[in-house]
Structure formats: C-alpha cells, structure tokens
Amino acid sequence: MKVPFYDIKAQYDELQQPIDAAVHEVISSGTYTISGGKHCLQLEEAVAKFHQTKHAISLNSGTDALRILMDSAGIGPGDEVITTAFTFVASVETIMQTGAAPVFADIELDTLQIDPRSIEAAITPRTKAIMPVHLFGQMADVDAISAIAKRHNLIVIEDTAQAIGSRHNGVPAGNFGIGAGLSFYVTKNLGAAGDAGMILTNDDAIAESCRSIRVHGMGRERYYYDHLGYTSRMDEVQAAFLHVKLSALEKWNNRRAQLAAIYEEVLADSNLKLLKTLPGNNHTYHQYAVLCERRDELQAELRKAEVDSMIYYPVPIHKHLPYKGCKIGPTGLARSEEAANTVLCLPVHPHLQEDQVQFAAEQAKNFSLNLVAR
C-alpha cells in the first residue's frame, strides 16, 4: 500500500472553492503587495487570535521572522545565542547573520527538544538570548527555559516554525519569550503556496520595529527610514490563501494527533524508540519521529513496501562547513549526534487514511523486530 509522506494537493482539493475565490479576488483586484494590505491584515488578526498574542506580523518566510526578531531585540556582534544543533539550518544561520555567535546546547533524546540543563551550562557573560526550537510540533520545555532566562536575565526567541497551534498548559507557542517566528513553508502544518512566515509578539516596541524592518526599515512616514531593513513582506495572494487554510488547521492538527496515536499503539511493542510528549504539551505532529539504531536499513525496507519516510536531520548543524567553528556548550552534543544517526520520520499528514497509517506502522514494527533478529 502506498503511504506518501505529504499530500499538499489534497489540502487544496478539500478547500478548492474558497481558495479559488480568495486568490481570484486578489489577482483581479490588481493589489498584490502593499503595506497594510487587506488580506495580510486579515491573516495577522486571525493568527494573533489563534495564538493569543497581541501582535502578528506577516512576512515572506520563517527565516526572516527569526532574523528580524533578533535585529529588533538588539542581538548582534559580541552576543551569544544558545540554541540546538538538531534543527533546520535557519535557526542557526539567522543568529550568525546578525553577527552574534550561536552556541550549541544538547537535546534530550526522549523528546529531541533542547535540554534546559545543557542550556544553563552553556551560559557565559556574553549570552544574550536563548532560541528554543519547538521541534516536530511539540514545544520545548518552556517552563524550565523561561526560569533559566529569568534567572540569568536573557531574552527568549521561540523558533515556532514547526509548531503552529502548539500549546503548553493551554498557552500557545509565541507567548514564552520576546517573540516567535512561524513558518508557512509549503509542507508545514499550515503551508502557503510558496514561502511565507510570521512574527508573533506581545511587545509593542518589538512589533513596531519588526513592522518597520520588514519594509526596508521604513518608519510611519513613507520614504523615511528608522532601521536597516529588508524586503520581507508577505504577498496578498499568500495571505488570502493562508487565511482560507487557517480555517482547517485545528481540524488538521487534531487529525495528525489521531494518526500519531495509531503509530503509538502499534509501535509500543516494536524495537523502535518512541518519543515522549512533555507534560502539559499538546503535540501538533508536524513530524512523527522514531529512533532506530539501524535507521537506514529500516528506511530501505519501508521504501520496498512503498511507505515513504524522511530523515530530519541527517547531520547536525555543527558538522556543516559554515558552522564548524561554532561554539559547543560544555555538555557536548553526543545526543544531537545520536539523534541525527537514528531518527526516522514516518508519514503523518492529515489526509492519510487510518488503514494507511496502520499499514505503515505495522511495516515499521515488523522490520524493526526482524532487523534485530538478523
């Protein structure tokens, strides 16, 4: 049975009529990119409500969301920002682009989230910020991270690219620091028809600075500049498209959790290591990940059964050329490296049928048992 990793087209098919109408309205209006465009404002208002933040600032990507947040928070040369090496590269490249130095803390292997003890061990007099990444759809240990930040007077910037709709004790991501970056990259739980992202913040001054930096640093008056900025606006077409899809997001996130529960049940007596959801977290399953020592063989077997899988991430960031000189905290990165060698993500998108997930889970279980027997 074919079990595809993504089905983006099925999302469009489900919402075809309202998407076509919304996109047609923008294209026929002739207004495609404008500061304060109607569709961007509408989306910002809806996402701010969904994540219970005071401000939401629509952008061209999640990468620029992180970068602009750090610029607005005054992070730059001489500063250190503690983050994880087991993430998508954007979390780290944006720190480097500000002129600050990323410092890597290790992760916990039972959640793959950044380890608060490793963060605390990596703090130096230069540390200015912590960037937890809410990896694969569940939030990092935000209680512990907030406590560390408070104790050491540090800024927290949440990389929420993979965790739209995720909450801790009912409080949505984006409320645990000075601001958060969302990504609407095509394959995310809420995916645009191309690239798009958003900043969430409760801080008025940060919001004002982010709004300015996204359009060349322009102030309230046109062609007067207050900051060094970028071209980072969201297009009206993307905003209209995303606004329609947002209406289905909670349902799709719940569906992902239902499908993940099938994996949990079937894989409970496999030889795969399953991950934990931290107490108080709701998991939105951007990915359903398992750990397997013979991961590459498992993936090859699954491929033969037409079950897709992906390796996020095969190499931790500190091993890539541009990041080889980056500072590693005193606890080392043994667990990040082990995760990179053993993690495998199984299909969990909302348009899979139960029998497809059951099949994928049974294949993974059987292969894991056979691999050990061999």
Ligand X SMILES: Cc1ncc(COP(=O)(O)O)c(C=O)c1O
List of residues contacting ligand X (CB under 6 A): 61-63, 87-88, 90-91, 133, 159, 161-162, 183, 185, 195, 197
Helix (H) or strand (E) holding 350: none
Residue nearest ligand X, Cβ-based: 62
Least separation in angstroms between residue 171's CB and ligand X is 20
Which residue, 237 or 361, is less far from ligand X as judged by CB?
Answer: 237
Which residue, 185 or 252, is less far from ligand X as judged by CB?
Answer: 185
Least separation in angstroms between residue 87's CB and ligand X is 5
Task: Tell me the helices (H) and strands (E) count for the chain, helix number first.
Answer: 12, 14
Least separation in angstroms between residue 89's CB and ligand X is 8
Helix, strand, coil share (%) of the chain residues, nearest 5:
45, 15, 40
Which residue, 58 or 162, is less far from ligand X as judged by CB?
Answer: 162
User: Does residue 335 contact residue 108 with C-beta atoms inside 8 Å?
Assistant: yes
Which residue, 71 or 159, is less far from ligand X as judged by CB?
Answer: 159
Which residue, 162 or 253, is less far from ligand X as judged by CB?
Answer: 162
Rounded Cα distance between 306 and 293, Å, is 21
Which residue, 236 or 301, is less far from ligand X as judged by CB?
Answer: 236
Cα dihedral 103, 105, 111, 116 in deg (nearest 10):
-110
Least separation in angstroms between residue 294's CB and ligand X is 26
Q: What values do phi and psi take at 163, rounded to 5? A: -135, 40
Q: The tokens 């990179």 sit on which residue? A: 340
Instruction: List the one residue out of 155, 119, 113 whose CA is nearest residue 330.
Output: 119
Rounded Cα distance between 38 and 22, Å, is 12
Rounded Cα distance between 31 and 305, Å, is 48
Least separation in angstroms between residue 138's CB and ligand X is 13
Least separation in angstroms between residue 186's CB and ligand X is 9
